Amino acid sequence: MKHPPLPILLCALGFAVAVRGVETLGTVPDSAGALGMSGGRYANLTDPSAVHYSPANITEIKSTEALFNFSAWHGDIQFKQDLSGETVRMQDPWKILGSFYFVQPIVPEKVVFGIGVTTPFGLDSQWPHQGPLRYLIPYEATLVTADITPVIAFKPTESLSIAAGLDIMYSEIELKQFFPWPALLGGLPVNDGIAHYKADGLGVGAFASATWKITPHQRLAVIGRLPVNVDYDGDFRISKVPRQLAGTDLGDDSDFDTDIRFPASITVGYGIDITDRLTLGADLLWADNSSHNDVPIRIGKNQPLLGTGTGLTTEWEDAFTVGVGGEYRLGDHWRLRAGYMYSEESQSDKYYTPSVASNDRHLMSAGIGYHTEHHHFDIGYCYSYFPDRTVKGALTPGFDGEYQIRWHVISASYTFKF
């Protein structure tokens, strides 16, 4: 086969590995408060979204609180292929996400329970049906996750808070890609088919967090997350099976299974109150992206359609993210925020794919909040700038070329204090 469908699953795996490790789409902070001070949030965040980002901080929450968040994403990805000279552009640029957090003190100022329902990873990628990528990547790819994170936090001393919790993650994958039946049949004039992969799975991980008040105005936060392994089971089918293959198993519906390892990470955050109104912070995150370099692809009796091998090699590299951010309290009610983050690229030219188009990333953010005794309203915005990237020597030659990537994200949060 000239164009085996092996790249189909790469988009889902690549995105899943990349998002946590290098702070791309999936780990841009989803609450407006966290987004506004993006690069300095871990030691300073004390709204209910700390359940996910810096769990030990929830001991600073003195009453029952619930946070609802809505985020809208707009992406622009363009690829100019070296082989053809053609330019293609990602379609359907708008993506919508939501999350919910709840915090309940059990023993006031000592023991606190929190839970979050988030979508930490996700992909909704659509590309033109025609053009140079028709047989190389899915024209439609969806990776959905729902992560439930129960947390218990407590203060053994006045200066130290400790928390532990679980990542209970449900995930679905659905991928659609044109399949070149003519290439399989030596160029016979038959119609292309559509390969359709759909599966879901469940994984469980754990995390721990500690926040130390070095002085009354300085804090150090450390967060460690274990990897989450999700085993996916589902179905594979392919349409428009040529009559020349009648009587064979090829093209019959079959099982599909794979697994994705969402990597471990370690984060350190420092926060300092410069004045009673101004708080600054700095963050450093490391992610173990290299922990999962191979992804199995098993489609039962249709395995020969893969053309070669039984899986994918990605060779992702570990990555660091660094950032700074802060908040200025303007009077009793208003909050002004700003932040900056820099994320390393994990994807080499050799295993690059337009389905997970990425590069080193610079994220600039700003936000504003209005807080009353029982109601908090926050809005955050960020612009993700990826320097243009030229890929050479990709394992799939059709992926060589120039990439332009831009993302805008806006989040709106409402917190109710009971």
CA-nearest of 6, 22, 20 to 313 is 6
Residue 211 CA to residue 55 CA, distance in Å, equals 9
pLDDT for residue 87 is more than 90: yes
DSSP lists the bridge partners of residue 254 as: 236
pLDDT for residue 2 is more than 50: no
The token pair that represents 52 in the structure block: 């996910």
Residue 349 CA to residue 397 CA, distance in Å, equals 11
Which CATH homologous superfamily contains domain 7-417? Outer membrane protein transport protein (OMPP1/FadL/TodX) (2.40.160.60)
pLDDT digits (tens, 9 = 90+) for 40-68: 999 999 999 999 999 999 999 999 999 99
pLDDT digits (tens, 9 = 90+) for 217-259: 999 999 999 999 999 999 999 999 998 888 787 878 889 998 8
pLDDT for residue 79 is more than 50: yes
pLDDT digits (tens, 9 = 90+) for 249-285: 787 888 999 888 888 999 999 999 999 999 999 999 9
pLDDT digits (tens, 9 = 90+) for 150-181: 999 999 999 999 999 999 999 999 999 999 99
**Residue 188: predicted pLDDT:** 87
**Residue 311: predicted pLDDT:** 67
**Cβ atoms of residues 152 and 165 within 8 Å:** yes
Q: What is the pTM of this model?
A: 0.88
Mean residue pLDDT of the chain comes to 88
User: From start to end of 13-93, where are the E strands?
Assistant: 65-81, 87-89
DSSP lists the bridge partners of residue 250 as: none
**What is the share, in percent, of the chain residues with pLDDT greater than 90?**
65
The token pair that represents 189 in the structure block: 């004039």
